[in-house]
Structure 1
Amino acid sequence: MMDNAERDSSPDDDASGFDPHNWPFFWMTQAVGRYLQRLETALKRVELDVSRWRVLMCLQQDRATSVSEIAELAIVKLPTMTKIVQRMQADGLVTCEARASDGRVTEVSLTKRGLEAKQNAWSIANKLYVQAFRDIGGDDKLRLNRLMEQIFGNLSDW
């Protein structure tokens, strides 16, 4: 077992001694991957998928959001997000309208059916959240959020 000094040190300049279990991005990827697998399975019960869930979680009840804003929040390329939103519109979950001040921008809003789907999806995602963080205290969750935000910012500068 490694001591804290070894575990916390920066990686070597070469990959010869690389152990993915000591690499924070390994665990970030593993945690997010498992979360998304479990979420995908659970969302099927309410006829949703992770892509639709991401869009639903980006939308507010009484506020239109542009497709590009949703794509940025969901970390999805704009053409892909456009297709997801079009499918959701065909499913009656959202409406799309050109922005009054700039017709090139498509704004997305929840329909009544979309709001119901969001509530169902949130119920599922929240249960999964509770399970994932069942042994982790509030201060640790706040610290994790701050660290992830800091890492995100650091990577924005690279």
Structure 2
Amino acid sequence: MSAKIATPHAKKTWPFYWISRVDQRYVQVLEKRLKPIGIDAPRWRVLMSLREDTHLSVSEIAEFSAMRLNTTTKVVQRLAADGLVATRVRPTDARATEVSLTAAGERMGALALAEVRDIFDIAFRSVSTEEMDVLNGILEKVFDQLKRM
């Protein structure tokens, strides 16, 4: 199935335009809301990836948080220096460094999560549950198609 799209520069019919704009604006709002509590968007992404899994390798965090591996490594190093994460050699694979949240990281993550939930509530206030399901389904399909390229 092929979508009927006029031209890539026609913003009203080019979904990637809107995906990029929404992401850009979300990151701007996120940075503004997280700065007072002392973190930025990349640190938020790492903290949130670790809230779902107790121990993740740096590579797994990079994949989950959609950041480059070298960027993720630097963010993890900064978080470790701030006492928000701890690292260890993965017991089953000495080549992998595992990362986990410290108690301070848990607290910082909870503060950040409250801000992000507020952003979400405001951004999706006029979007129904059904519309959210459709949006997520479409984006997942597009992502899966792009992964095959």
TM-score, normalised to structure 1's length? 0.88
The aligned residue for residue 91 of structure 2 is: 100
SS in 1 for 2:87: strand
SS in 2 for 1:144: helix
Q: Which runs of 5+ in 1 are unaligned?
A: 1-7
Alpha-carbon distance, 1:61 to partner: 6.9
| Equivalences for residues 115-134 of structure 1 within 5 A | 115-134=106-125
The aligned residue for residue 9 of structure 1 is: 4
> Would you say how many aligned residue pairs link Structure 1 and Structure 2?
147
The aligned residue for residue 64 of structure 2 is: 73
Structure 2 CA distance for aligned equivalents of residues 97 and 153 of structure 1: 32
Q: Which runs of 5+ in 2 are unaligned?
A: none
- Shift >4 Å, 4+ stretches: none
Q: Please tell me the residue identity of whatever aligns with 1:125.
A: V
Alpha-carbon distance, 1:55 to partner: 0.3
Alpha-carbon RMSD across the aligned residues, in angstroms, is 1.5
Structure 1 CA distance for aligned equivalents of residues 72 and 20 of structure 2: 22
The aligned residue for residue 41 of structure 1 is: 32
Q: Please tell me the residue identity of whatever aligns with 2:106.
A: L
Alpha-carbon distance, 1:10 to partner: 3.0
The aligned residue for residue 141 of structure 2 is: 150
Structure 2 CA distance for aligned equivalents of residues 24 and 62 of structure 1: 32
TM-score, normalised to structure 2's length? 0.93
Larger radius of gyration between Structure 1 and Structure 2: 1
Structure 2 CA distance for aligned equivalents of residues 58 and 11 of structure 1: 38
